[in-house]
Amino acid sequence: MKKLLPTSTAGSLPKPSWLAQPETLWSPWKLQGEELTDGKQDALRLSLHEQQQAGIDIVSDGEQSRQHFVTTFIEHLDGVDFQKRKTVRIRNRYDASVPTVVGPVSRQKPVFVEDAKFLRQQTSQPIKWALPGPMTMIDTLHDAHYKSREKLAFEFAKILNQEAKELVEAGVDIIQFDEPAFNVFFDEVNDWGIAALEQAADGLKQLKCETAVHICYGYGIKANTDWKQTLGNEWRQYEAVFPKLQQSSIDIISLECHNSRVPMELLELIRGKKVMVGAIDVASHNIETPEQVAATLRQALQFVDAHHLYPCTNCGMAPLPRHVARCKLNALAAGAEIVRRELAVR
Ligand SMILES: [Zn+2]
């Protein structure tokens, strides 16, 4: 019988301090050349080990070889000029200097496939691999070529689909597309965002790979916590996109639930989908107790069938101190175990 409530993380985990400056997004590498290549692999091994020690069931690379969940992927593509920068508003929230799309975008060679092969060699556990979603990618660029967000998103979807298929060949079991932009641009999500996502995931099911979309309120950085202050008592953003996502071909929806003001009953709108329920707050250094994790999962069980429930973190934990992230992983696994035992008794 398959294990109930398999645990996983949304993706990123803190990097060791000898590889990159801790508790910083966009942290520059501390190594170079071959040392950097080796260092990234060692960090990946460590990250896997920490997940295994905590008892995480579906493991990841902890995004140890990426500086940023969107930019690192785009850096490997043709058609984007990183010298030509323009200041744009990211997800209607904060200004950032971003690279420019200057010509047709394409992928000359695989981006993460070697990393995925390396992780596959280290473990026989199921592996989940995160990629940026098409809409979130276009939102971190200035487009001087296609001049259409939709067109550019579909071009990226084609590229993501090539990469995803090669990741599956390398042994990845679940491909997750990170789409925080789905929490902001509701009309576009419904008009073409979900269609672009499905294009990125096209054919993966036939390769026996499951697909997930991660939609969150972001890392615990200031721009995000300030934005959350403006959202009122109930965060109902998911309500705008869930009905169409429920109809989509995506297998798993990964969500933020613990300590956020998302009304749990919104999960009813994606009934039938597998749900990665965020039971760990990544915007706080307070360590959840296993009982708190269990309480979030029990709430979710009112709207998600037990065999569809995947305990998870709200978002990536890259900006957290390592020991905090480690304790949070332990709490996640212990909390899931409490609920597993309750379900077994029933
Ligand atoms: Zn997230």
The rounded distance, in Å, linking the Cα atoms of 32 and 29 is 7
8-state DSSP, 270: G
pLDDT given for residue 221 in this prediction: 81
Report if residue 185 sits inside a domain.
yes
Report if residue 17 sits inside a domain.
no
How much distance in Å is there from the Cα of 346 to the middle of ligand 1? 33
How much distance in Å is there from the Cα of 204 to the middle of ligand 1? 22
The rounded distance, in Å, linking the Cα atoms of 211 and 160 is 13
Report if residue 254 sits inside a domain.
yes
Report if residue 52 sits inside a domain.
yes
CB 218 within 8 A of CB 315: yes
Task: Specify the number of domains making up the chain.
Answer: 1
Predicted confidence (pLDDT) per residue in 187-203, tens digit: 999 999 999 999 999 99
CA angle, residues 182, 186, 191, in degrees to nearest 5: 100
pLDDT given for residue 158 in this prediction: 98
pLDDT given for residue 214 in this prediction: 98
SS (H, E, C) 156-215: HHHHHHHHHHHHHHCCCCEEEEECHHHHCCHHHHHHHHHHHHHHHCCCCHHHCCEEEEEE
8-state DSSP, 15: P
How much distance in Å is there from the Cα of 33 to the middle of ligand 1? 30
Rg (CA), the chain: 19
The pTM (predicted TM-score) of the whole model is: 0.96
Residues around the ion ligand 1 (C-beta < 5 A)? 216, 315
CATH number reported for the structural domain that contains residue 283 in this entry: 3.20.20.210
How much distance in Å is there from the Cα of 315 to the middle of ligand 1? 4
Query: Which residues of the chain fall below pLDDT 50?
Result: none
Predicted confidence (pLDDT) per residue in 100-112, tens digit: 999 999 999 999 9
Report if residue 311 sits inside a domain.
yes
C-alpha atoms less than 13 angstroms from C-alpha of 213 in its C-beta half-sphere:
32
Residue type, 313: T
**Edge to edge, what strands does the sheet with 77-90 contain?**
77-90, 94-107, 142-143
How much distance in Å is there from the Cα of 220 to the middle of ligand 1? 10
The rounded distance, in Å, linking the Cα atoms of 296 and 277 is 8
How much distance in Å is there from the Cα of 74 to the middle of ligand 1? 18
Predicted confidence (pLDDT) per residue in 292-323, tens digit: 999 999 999 999 999 999 999 999 999 999 99
pLDDT given for residue 1 in this prediction: 58
Domain that holds residue 299: 33-345
Report if residue 5 sits inside a domain.
no
Output the six-digit token pair for 314: 């709200």
Report if residue 37 sits inside a domain.
yes
How much distance in Å is there from the Cα of 1 to the middle of ligand 1? 31
Name the residue among 2, 126, 130 with its Cα closest to residue 56.
Answer: 126
